[in-house]
Chain A
């Protein structure tokens, strides 16, 4: 029963955030680019569900559009991580202990020595801040996560007899990776992908907060928090609401990930840092 509760609750939260992001493309309660100084710093009310910020902009609308930024950055970053990490992991596992395997795994270790924030700092120092750089930084950091996971999931499978049978049939290791390994680690990847997605949202918020992520006028939850910081003593809702939005999205994805894990294969171990 618990499994279903996790999936239901997590799925509901995720759908909520996703819906907010999608609807914001066609409709938001207020236009977030127009300022309305007379109505600034209002607390939540019937007109402004989540209140207004120091420029009088509607926070509910900003949260909706901010969801777009968060999801897009995290999704593309996971895509980069999976798209590059999974093939690398499969490649390395198929050639365990060869120089190629060594090179890939040492390369992974090296990237791990640069926390995603440090990568972002380096990229920003050279290319300047922006959402694309945030995507790159989080994406690069995701590569070793998926490469290691894929390799770790694939190695025990390579010991299984059905792989030997495929080799007896003359299949090339790459073909075996696609035919036999990938379908058997799909669950693992789906679950970890959900978790990385949630970590991506957290990382994007952190980068935007310190000014290394999305730049104005693109709204983002992290920057809303940065703007709110000086006003937290007299307008706490400015900080509370984006925070709750982040928590809802991350919690939703984590619950979904755990629920999927329990549903698909309880033996899967998720890596979190």
Chain B
């Protein structure tokens, strides 16, 4: 198990290095001169050279890359050009909106999808299955930001149960903060849970056809006991993969949903930075998002090993 963990950690490190290289290349090498890019067409030559000096563009690219990575390792993402504040501070404020939102949505999605998927699989071909499958078919087709608008229309504008947007802030207490994240989380979670429920169902149906399920029945377990004791855990492996991939989708989806609900998260930050051509911020936020996704992949790999003893002993 330790060997497995070390191996995964090793490949986590490699992924991070390659990803940072890719981002650095796209943001700082492709546009030619980042300074004149950030300042736009009408910039004066002396402003450009001032910015070049400030960004440290005069030193070789490799050295710049190392300085960037070295800074990030110490928690220093540089200085935002537009706002003149450390990027670390800007991210620090906003990540406590985006990350809880993604986790909230992931939890909701899993809580809805597991029972729905297991129920559908256990009622295969019957009315209950058909109903759940029909609902998921619709759920998959929902664009989450449109669904979010509909939630606002119904629950905020008409019923007035929730506010239409904005974030209460964690200093108002966790409940108030969670409340302002609830509609966004539902909007994110429902379409994803439809997908997850379908994966859970089909994965369970695959397992139901396995020989060891018949063995369990021959021992005297009831159909339901067989499903819960031997089915679900075996069905979990493909489901874990999807949960991992969904997290990255929820993070990215959160960026869009933040626009619908005017939430001060990473998404807002990144769009503001794009229109302000603040490459420093864009680069840092993208790197952070990619870091989170890769980290989740790592944890999913560990979860595989926790579920499946074959992975623990092999390699």
Contacts and interface: CB of A to CB of B under 8 A. Distances in A.
Direct A/B contact, Cβ within 8 angstroms: yes
A210 B141 contact: no
A111 B31 CA distance: 21
B27 A125 contact: yes
Interface in A103-125: 106, 109-110, 112-118, 121-122, 124-125
Contacts of B277: 125
B271 A113 contact: no
B274 A110 contact: no
Interface stretch (A30-38, A79-87, A154-162, A243-251): A243-251
Interface in A236-271: 236, 239-240, 242-243, 246-247, 250-251, 254-255, 258, 269
Contacts of B153: 232-233, 236, 239
Interface in B1-45: 14-15, 18-19, 22-23, 26-27, 30-31, 37
Interface stretch (A15-23, A51-59, A173-181, A201-209): A201-209
A243 B146 CA distance: 6
A225 B293 contact: no
Interface in A188-226: 198, 202, 205-206, 209-211, 222, 225
B149 interface: yes
A55 to B, nearest CB: 20
A206 to B, nearest CB: 5
A161 B178 CA distance: 58
A126 interface: yes
B242 A251 contact: no
A273 interface: yes
Nearest to B294: A113
A229 interface: yes
Interface string B78-102: 0000000000000000000000000
Contacts of A250: 140-141, 143
Contacts of A269: 202
Contacts of B274: 121, 124-125
Given A239-B153, A246-B143, A209 B248 contact: no
A134 to B, nearest CB: 13
B54 to A, nearest CB: 19
B156 to A, nearest CB: 9
Interface of chain A, main secondary structure: helix
Contacts of A172: none
B245 A118 contact: no
B57 interface: no
B19 A113 contact: yes
A100 B141 CA distance: 37
A246 B152 CA distance: 19
B150 A210 contact: no
Contacts of B256: 117, 206, 209-210
Contacts of A233: 153, 157
A126 B30 contact: yes
Contact of A206 (B18, B143, B195, B279): B143
A121 to B, nearest CB: 6
Contacts, number: 131
A17 to B, nearest CB: 12
B190 interface: no
B245 A112 contact: yes
Nearest to B198: A272
Given A109-B15, A110-B22, A115-B248, A122 B260 contact: no
Contacts of A246: 141, 143, 146
B282 interface: yes
A56 to B, nearest CB: 22
B305 interface: no
A237 to B, nearest CB: 11
Contacts of A229: 149, 260
A247 B14 CA distance: 40
Contacts of A211: 271
Interface in B175-201: 195, 198-199
Given A113-B19, A126-B26, A202-B143, 9 more contacts: A114-B286, A118-B252, A122-B27, A205-B146, A206-B256, A233-B153, A246-B141, A250-B143, A273-B245
The 4 nearest A-B residue pairs measured at CB: A115-B252, A117-B252, A250-B141, A251-B141
Interface of B: 14-15, 18-19, 22-23, 26-27, 30-31, 37, 137-138, 140-146, 149-150, 152-153, 157, 195, 198-199, 202, 242, 245-246, 248-249, 251-253, 255-256, 259-260, 267, 270-271, 273-274, 277, 279, 282, 286, 289-290, 293-294, 297
27 contacts: A110-B15, A114-B19, A114-B293, A117-B255, A117-B256, A118-B252, A121-B286, A122-B282, A122-B286, A125-B282, A202-B143, A205-B146, A206-B143, A206-B145, A206-B256, A210-B271, A211-B271, A222-B143, A232-B149, A232-B153, A232-B157, A239-B146, A246-B141, A251-B141, A254-B137, A272-B195, A273-B195
